[in-house]
Amino acid sequence: MRGYFGIGVEGISKPMNAGAVLRTGHAFGANFAFFVNSHIDKNKINLSDTSKTENNIPTYIFDNLNSMFLPKGCKLVGIEITDKAEYLPSFRHPKNAAYIVGSERFGLSKSMIKKCDYIIKVPTKFSVNLALAAGIVLYDRITSLGNYPNRPMMPGGKTFSKIKNSFGKPKIK
The pLDDT, as a whole number, for residue 142 is: 93
Q: Count of CB atoms within 10 A of residue 165's CB?
A: 7
The pLDDT, as a whole number, for residue 54 is: 86
The pLDDT, as a whole number, for residue 151 is: 78
Cα 158 to Cα 2: distance, rounded to the nearest angstrom? 27
The pLDDT, as a whole number, for residue 10 is: 95
Q: Averaged over 101-128, what is the pLDDT? A: 94
Residue 165 has pLDDT above 80, yes or no: no
Q: Please give the DSSP secondary-structure letter assigned to residue 76.
A: E
Residue 115 has pLDDT above 70, yes or no: yes
Q: Averaged over 123-132, what is the pLDDT? A: 92
Of 54 and 86, the one with more pLDDT:
86
Q: Is the pTM of this model over 0.75?
A: yes
Cα 173 to Cα 26: distance, rounded to the nearest angstrom? 35
pLDDT bracket for residue 47 (50, 70, 90): confident
Q: Is 78 helix (H, G, I), strand (E, B) or coil?
A: strand
Q: Where are the beta strands (DSSP E) in the chain?
A: 4-10, 32-36, 59-62, 75-79, 86-87, 96-101, 118-121
pLDDT bracket for residue 2 (50, 70, 90): confident
